[in-house]
Structure 1
């Protein structure tokens, strides 16, 4: 655990900024086995050290589908890390629920940092939730934050807010290129009214050379989006772009079907429209639609091994989001292994270095740990994750891989892998 001086610093900082713990906060307990509970600060009953970090994840709410994938990736990473250990002990992750909302995300982060005193926190899914956590709780503290899933370009403005998944500028570029390559020169854009929706949309409009015929936000959870669909249709645009979430997009697709204005071969989407959508719309409704999302390097051996294990465990292929969470956990574990002490200050000094291209390329936690145990420095390690080369830059952003999916026979099928 963190030293007493660092713990006191965190408490003083949180009190000074008016942090309060909310009564009745929803969340999960730590993931350690009951038989090996902490008996002293960071010490397990079996005598080893338990290095506890935090995770703010969308276990409930509109982004809970992402949270479920994240938890699966987290569990697989914990298994791999704890098979060989971290320093003289094991890694433990205390999970709190953001409920997919900024206010609850801040409350979750406050609990993890003020009560559990974690020096590193993984979180969150939604870009607005991640930035709210950072600006309200993390910024100017000594805690390291690594977002597992947030893609908004806004996060680049906060260089100490690290993320494993690529930012939205690259995603917007690939969407713009794909729409232009398909011969469209005018676009109607419907985007969810938050940091994610606005960030992707702003980047897209800067990079698309054609006409923006419609460009308006919508709120989450509306009872109907028929006005959005009607306005997009009335705009006369060649192509429609949806930068929204799965439930909102599914409702829009259903209402477009009901209104008889579906032309899905001219429909495009950002990363958050793919997932549990096809089950919610009539079969064949959106055949031909294309969606762009951050992608893992599916041809690499370490990804193939991860995907095979994932399918054996969960009966399904992993999404990119599960790989990002896996790599967030491994990156955190490597930072702990490499740091001189288990404090946020020490972890922040090495967390980027263990992913940078100057080091020896390794594709597993165990191989990276071996370099560090053999006297190697953090910069001697270049961890190549199951989500691809991470290479966290000065803005806390990784190298982007993007995958284009096309709906064929009512299934999203991988079509093109691109680097932004």
Structure 2
């Protein structure tokens, strides 16, 4: 399946913003609270991928050509769909910016064949198998869920000479698989930041419930290892349940003054509604991570049911010029604000395109040799695909390029991880608000 957004065509104003017109050489770093934090992490409207997703059979092409096809496995349906569908908009904006310039001396067009993971490990593996074994793509982007990304890597990518770049997976477990790259940071720094936030608010006892997969396991382990107080409840829950009242009752029985929810939007919605009905929201302070930031949660819970909730979420450098250009282009095209997750998808597509530009041939082995190099800090900073491609076309090597993503400096390390850039959020008057930045 392929999603072409607005038939693969964006208006000229949007393309000019994406190509960095008026761009200044801003660099990323620690940011002061500029009042634009909501732009960095605010949820865009969902309910679509920016265009219809239709079936299209495509085969990967090979070197020296006028078109290239890579793959993408995204959560278009299932419990992770609120996160996956928004990534399609970031992907479509990236394709528009890249194809305005073209890849290589031929100005080749890049296209992306998209398959649905259905938010499950097995469906993700099936989708990846189709892309790699049937379509023959040498590189694919995916997925949202950490468990899905790991399952695809273990079953399909590892040893197959294929590059895999996750756009949204944050589990610390991915760090142990250096061949699995990602544009979103590892959750280890986020887990530590959550522990410091809750302890700093004066809580010495916390009850945790975490979604029973690689994401929940990894993040809860980091939190439990670093929290200076006592973790009095630390139990998993399954996805897709119609009720979590038993878990909530157990959390309430511990007397913990802080409850930490490491779960997804659908599950958090059920828990918040049941906890509100039982009055638990007045007896404990709620905390969460990035996956409890979703408009769907607020839209489907009562006013006041989550007020006071705090957490730590991935963020983007709101004062960086290329991020501002990305936000402006996104708003012009979709009449909505992007999340940092759309920015991660945008950057994943750019890194893939730069690897194709830099590689000697369009094979997984050749792309793998250069994909990290085009992000390394030793090179010349480039804030758009056009700037980065020009360095290569002027005779520069892949390591001469330091692509600065709209989500911040990518700088993929030996484990395939970028630096972490986070922000504290809270729920006030049933609205997400954003505060201080945290870097790792």
Normalising by structure 1, what TM-score?
A: 0.89
- Match for residue 100 of structure 1 among 111, 116, 119: 119
Residues 184-242 of structure 1 deviation map (CA, whole Å, 9 limit, x = unaligned): 11110010111101110001111111100110001111121111111111111121100
Q: Report the equivalent of 1:61.
A: 78
Alpha-carbon distance between aligned partners in 2 of 1:117 and 1:221, rounded to the nearest angstrom: 33
What is the CA RMSD across the aligned residues, in angstroms? 2.0
Q: Which has the higher contact order (CA 8 A, sep 6+)?
A: 2
Alpha-carbon distance between aligned partners in 1 of 2:345 and 2:305, rounded to the nearest angstrom: 32
Alignment of 1:9-408 (within 5 A): 28-29=1-2, 31=4, 42=61, 49-87=66-104, 88=106, 89-263=108-282, 266-275=285-294, 276-408=296-428
* Change in CA separation of 1:75 and 1:152 when aligned onto 2, cut-off 3 Å: same
Residues 89-132 of structure 1 deviation map (CA, whole Å, 9 limit, x = unaligned): 11110000000100000000000001110000101110000000
Normalising by structure 2, what TM-score?
A: 0.85
* Change in CA separation of 1:34 and 1:263 when aligned onto 2, cut-off 3 Å: closer
CA contact (8 A) 1:173 1:207 kept: yes
- Figure out how many residues of one structure are paired with residues of the other and give that number: 389
Classify the secondary structure of the residue corresponding to 1:51: strand
* Change in CA separation of 1:348 and 1:240 when aligned onto 2, cut-off 3 Å: same
1:288 Cα offset (Å): 1.1
1:29 Cα offset (Å): 3.5
* Change in CA separation of 1:38 and 1:209 when aligned onto 2, cut-off 3 Å: closer
Give the unaligned 5+ runs of structure 2.
Answer: 10-55
1:384 Cα offset (Å): 0.6
CA contact (8 A) 2:59 2:137 kept: no
CA contact (8 A) 1:334 1:354 kept: yes
1:50 Cα offset (Å): 1.0
CA contact (8 A) 2:382 2:401 kept: yes
CA contact (8 A) 1:102 1:128 kept: yes
Alpha-carbon distance between aligned partners in 2 of 1:40 and 1:154, rounded to the nearest angstrom: 32
Moved over 4 A (4+): 30-35, 37-41
